[in-house]
Chain A
Amino acid sequence: MSDAVIVATARTPLCKSWRGAFNMTHGASLGAHVVRAALTRARLEPAEAEDIVFGCAYPEGATGLNIARQIALRAELPVTTAGMTVNRFCSSGLQAIAIAAQRVLVDRVPVVIAGGVESISCVQNELNQHMLREAWLKEHKPEIYLPMLATAEVVAKRYAIGRGRQDEYGVRSQLRAAAAQEAGRFAAEIAPITVTAGIADKDRPAFHAPGYGGARRGHPPGHDPRGCSEDQARGPRRLGSRRQRQPVLRRRRGLRGDGLTARRAARPGAARRIPRSRGGRLRAR
């Protein structure tokens, strides 16, 4: 069996939700920006990509319809490049990479682009609430509708993960992010982007939304040691994938996705997605 390899990656910076620089940027623009950047880094022609798979946890509104296909077109890939949007909530982007790898391994597709896109700023407060919950599920499996923070509370209680350990974890995570930023490690990942953002400016009568001059560098979540939950912000991440002699960044060998029962799912590391060959070392960058 041939290998699926990752040959280039790119991501946008990560900004604050709602008040951050991406609060007026459409998902297709975000996604297209990193697709272009990754193609350039991989020294590939746009037309070489046969398919593009993007994961998205809220595939609606500014990241709605078939957002992957929109990203392809916005990145000026030819109309012959197909597009697929994947949803598996928080692991949507990871699943997109898995599917892309499968496409390479099974279908012998030469080049597939995979990524993830999410815009908390533009989507989360604008969700379509119509018939959001199904009556039978609500009665028999209400946990399916638990929000993330409530789920975290259940996990913390069930597995007796005290506030102290959570804080410790949070602080470590923040310190690592700060150190990584200090060491300039994000610089190589990030594809700087210029966007127009809505800004509420206290020193002016109301608010203005001028275009940001110049590129904005991404930054990790703030260095606030209190911060234990994920910073509410995402830009998309994406990976290009092809079978060819290129610097290999990651080797992919299949992925098992288990639909777990709600009880089992509510544990650290929730849905298990373990590469069959290499116990859990899969990481998207």
Chain B
Amino acid sequence: MSPLGYQVHGAVAVITLDNPPVNGLGHALRQQISQGLEAAQGDAAVQAVVIIGNASGFSGGADIREFGTPAMLAAPVLGRLVQELEMCTLPVVAALGGNAMGGGLELALGCHYRVAAADAQLAMPEVKLGLIPGAGGTQRLPRAVGLESAVNMIVSGSPVAAVQLRDSGLIDRLIEGELLTGALQFAQQIAANRPLPLLRSRPVRYAQPDAFLQFSRNTVRAVARNLPAPLAAIDAIAAALGEFEAGLKKERELFLQLMQSPESAGLRHAFFAERAAARIPDVPEGTPAREIRAAAVIGAGTMGGGIAMSLANAGIAVTVLDATPEALERGLGVIRKNYESSAKKGKLSPAQLQERLGLIKGTLAYPDLAGADIVIEAVFEDLDVKAKVFRELDRVAKAEAILATNTSTLDVNKIAAVTSRPAAVLGTHFFSPANVMRLLEIVRGRETSKEVLASAMRLARRLKKVGVVAGVCDGFIGNRMIGVYGRQAELLLLEGCLPQQLDRALENFGMAMGPCRMADLAGLDVGAYIRRRHYAEHPDMPRSTIADTLAERQRFGQKSGAGYYRYPSGSREALPDPEVEEIILAQARSRGVARRAIGDEEIVQRCVFALVNEGARILEEGIAQRASDIDIVYLTGYGFPAYRGGPMFYADSIGLHAVLYALRRFAANPYADPGAWQPAPLLARLGSLGKTFNDSVGGKPT
């Protein structure tokens, strides 16, 4: 009996890869290829072999579901399989269509020949998971495409269209028309040629390779701060200039090192976390979702405009409503300007520009929203104002419309309650700038229907965003946590830091921006507004007097030219400001705080562990569905470094016991807020049991 996926067409054996969804090279598929090769070599009538993918493409690479499982190491491992291809006594032709990524491309590099559809996408994306190709890719690719292209492909991980590599040793022929037909034809033509060409025996020629490699290292070091994989990739490629087997050994050593690195563990966690976020335990995959053809946005401000652009970018017609003609005109003008500046930079074609502008219409009248399948409200962050909008929407929106609020902190249930259809109401919390930031918190109200929730998740995907489901609470996942983080920043300033030290410590940790620079960007007036509401709701809560004072002095951050820093004449460069230092010192004096030198480690731990502790409460209360959802919120919305996997994963990786220990130490600080360092019960429980938030470090989140 012939192996699965094995067929003979005349004198050519065809091995078809078929392992949905992306033809990951899992153990079963590897075995199948190996058996196919054996069958072909055992059949005297067969003169050549073609390996081809299915409708979804050639192969997405190693099956990363196997990572960390015995299946990954079960024979034949990928590296060995590639060698079996090389040793095959019949010529083997890889027929590349769709994607040939990572291990898939490595498999093709072991074949004697490669033919490809012009639009086949070839990539070595391992670096995105903190790894390098581990099945000879770093050794064979430079031999196929040359040193420079190999460095570019492996270090960037970005795909390259086959047509761009047509003149390299990677592609022996571009196939027009049906791929299998072309591949069979090619196989017949080369069937008799001997010796069989092998990439491993081609030298890498380059005039001054050490110069280029060192230039590459210097460049990579500057852009890939804190990431070991890109540099390791260059070291592995450098070995391709020497003897092949020694190069393979070097690649293996580096690969195994990276596999053990915390950076790769963090990146792999982030990868799985993003996929896990799409799943909602009580809303199964097949839940019907409403078709969204037309949308409306209420409010033409910064958020409303960004949301409208994000919808138009996905090809959805948007009606933008604002209360006054001036506000509407201004908002639409900003949208136009943004698109035009993208067009000027060549990111949009003139046709695309016209198409997007054509999709966005303005109105002042609520009845014009009657056709919208979803209405997203982005008006001022005030419950009464929003309630008024929703009462209006309830009147005009069509029966099956989804009514969404872009609130960042308010009670979605209360907003839903003013309508006659709370099941159609949910929160869609975009992050600014909404047309750029990938995170979309989808707030599930008490009454939100599964269908509406599933529709919103599907919309997130259409907008190329990561939808994360959050329950209703003040601030949902992200902003509730940022509250305690910002509070620690305030206390650290009071106890001895200055903004620049605080920010530098957290930026060295990997945060895209320290808390003070972030606050200056977001606007200190926004924070002050939210705090005022909190002070009113909880009169006993401690005041953030430094932040309050800055806002009182109209230091609203970048937009007013001064916040925690000063920004001379519209510049975005944050410069230390003596006035801020004075404010901080005065606050410390008036509150009798004896300022001290605070180390970077304490800064990072207090800020990050505050996130972790609040995250544990959020998880326990069911506001977040799983720990990895919290991670993904922080990775995609708050600039948490991907290679640390998110706050919850970071806590897991250093050990919850160690986190608890630090919390106890911080609780002894005389200036700590009462109860702030009380461990969340979930954290205490998991820590005492030696468990983790995410199921297993480096593994798949549930």
Contact = CB atoms under 8 A, between A and B. Distances in A.
Interface residues of B, number: 18
A26 B156 contact: no
B366 interface: no
A113 B219 CA distance: 37
Nearest to B214: A126
Interface string A126-139: 10000000000000
A24 B148 CA distance: 13
Interface stretch (B205-213, B316-324, B370-378): B205-213
A208 B218 contact: no
B218 A209 contact: no
Interface centre among A196, A207, A208 (most CB of B within 10 A): A207
Contact of A200 (B148, B153, B207, B219): B219
Contacts of B214: 122, 126
Given A18-B218, A196-B207, A200-B219, A209 B155 contact: no
Nearest to A203: B346
- Judged by DSSP, the binding face of B is helix
Contacts of A209: 148, 212, 215
B158 A24 contact: no
Interface string A116-129: 00000010011000
B156 A205 contact: yes
Nearest to B147: A209
Interface residues of A, number: 18
Given A18-B218, A208-B148, A209-B148, A198 B211 contact: yes
Contacts of A208: 148, 152
Main secondary structure of the interface of A (DSSP, over half): loop
Contact of B212 (A24, A126, A204, A205): A24
A280 to B, nearest CB: 39
A95 interface: no
Contacts of A26: 208, 211
B152 A24 contact: no
B208 A24 contact: yes
B259 interface: no
Contact of B218 (A125, A204, A206): A125
Interface string B364-387: 000000000000000000000000
Contacts of A92: none
Nearest to B215: A198
Given A208-B148, A209-B148, A24 B215 contact: yes
B151 interface: yes
Contact of A207 (B152, B207, B208): B152
Interface in B136-156: 148, 151-153, 155-156
Interface of A: 18, 23-26, 62, 122, 125-126, 196, 198, 200, 204-209
Given A18-B218, A24-B211, A207-B151, 15 more contacts: A23-B215, A24-B208, A125-B218, A198-B211, A198-B212, A198-B215, A198-B216, A198-B219, A205-B156, A206-B151, A206-B155, A206-B156, A206-B158, A208-B152, A209-B215
A-B CB proximity, top 8 nearest: A198-B215, A205-B158, A24-B211, A206-B156, A206-B152, A205-B156, A200-B219, A206-B155
